[in-house]
Amino acid sequence: MADVLFGAFLLALCFYVGRAWLRWFRAQPRLVSPKWRSGVTTFGFSACTVSLVTILLLMLYATVSSSLTPYHPISVLAYRTIFVTSLLAIVAGIVGKGPLETPTFVCSVLCLLVLAIAGFAS
């Protein structure tokens, strides 16, 4: 039951991130003034998207390979990547400005939450 709920949670998060990217691409002024702050937010949202993709790839690898443990080198590298990119996205969301500011915070905090759940589970 917990696997289904976790999968639904990740599916909803992927849908949210994809919808935020589509809305940003369709927006007429993508970068608001000052442009450097809006660019920082875009970079932060890209970083939290990398974090989410890393979580999905780790789940896929764990499903295919049954020998994945929490202290496996691939797991440790993925945990570090998720942690660094999520923290980078939070900092970019604080500094940045624009339409991707809220999705950056939501995605990065939820990716850190997934990382904390994985830490408690192991």
Residue whose structure tokens are 């080198």: 73
Torsion of CA 96, 99, 104, 110, to 10 degrees: 150
**b/e map of 61-79 (b: 16 or more CB within 10 Å)?**
ebeeeeebeeeeeebeebb
CB 41, CB 97: distance < 8 Å: yes
pLDDT at 28: 84
What's the confidence (pLDDT) of residue 111? 93
Residues of the chain with confidence (pLDDT) below 70: none
pTM: 0.90
- Compute the distance between CA of residue 51 and CA of residue 10 in angstroms, rounded to an integer: 12
Whole-number pLDDT of residue 6:
86
* CA gyration radius, the chain: 15
Give the whole-angstrom CA distance, residue 120 versus residue 114. 10
